Amino acid sequence: MNSGARILAIDDEESFADILKQYFELRGYEIDVVPDGISGLELFRKKKYNVVLLDLKMVGPDGEEVLKNMRKIDSAVKAIFVTAFNDSGRTKKRLLQQGVYGYIEKPLASLKILQHMIDKAAE
């Protein structure tokens, strides 16, 4: 049984966003998926989410910039970065030090890992 967590996913990779939406909706989660940080911030202002999934590199404001703005709205936001960006772990380390809940690299070995992380974050 899942937590029924409300998830906001911000990712400009359409195929990945579709997979996320299908996977989590099938399992009873409420998930909103948007392709960019601007629309993500708009939704974040309007609705309450347990967890935000963020891509790091996107058109417009990048994931870090979006998170900074989200923290102004809700300082306790639980963010998980899901990204193909790789700089030998430097960004991951810095973000985790800044209090990011999780950081997963694409391609994901399994969505179950992400699901488990979301459930823990939403507790």
1 in a domain, yes or no? Answer: no
27 in a domain, yes or no? Answer: yes
Name the 3-class secondary structure at 59.
Answer: coil
* Cα→Cα distances 78→14, 26, 87, Å: 23, 22, 23
Count of structural domains, the chain = 1
From first to last of its 123 residues, what are the pLDDT tens digits of the chain?
Answer: 455 799 999 999 999 999 999 999 999 999 999 999 999 999 999 999 999 999 999 989 999 999 999 999 999 999 999 999 989 999 999 999 999 999 999 999 899 999 999 999 999
Please report how many Cα atoms fall inside a 13 Å half-sphere around the Cα of residue 2, on the Cβ side. 22
Question: What local confidence, expressed as pLDDT, does residue 49 receive?
Answer: 97
pTM: 0.95
**What are 19-31's pLDDT values in tens digits?**
999 999 999 999 9
Contact assessment for residue 20 and residue 31, using Cβ atoms and an 8 Å cutoff:
yes
Question: What local confidence, expressed as pLDDT, does residue 1 receive?
Answer: 44
39 in a domain, yes or no? Answer: yes
Q: What is the enclosing helix (H) or strand (E) of 121?
A: helix 111-122
CATH code, 72: 3.40.50.2300
52 in a domain, yes or no? Answer: yes
**How far is the C-alpha of 13 from the C-alpha of 18, rounded, in Å?**
9
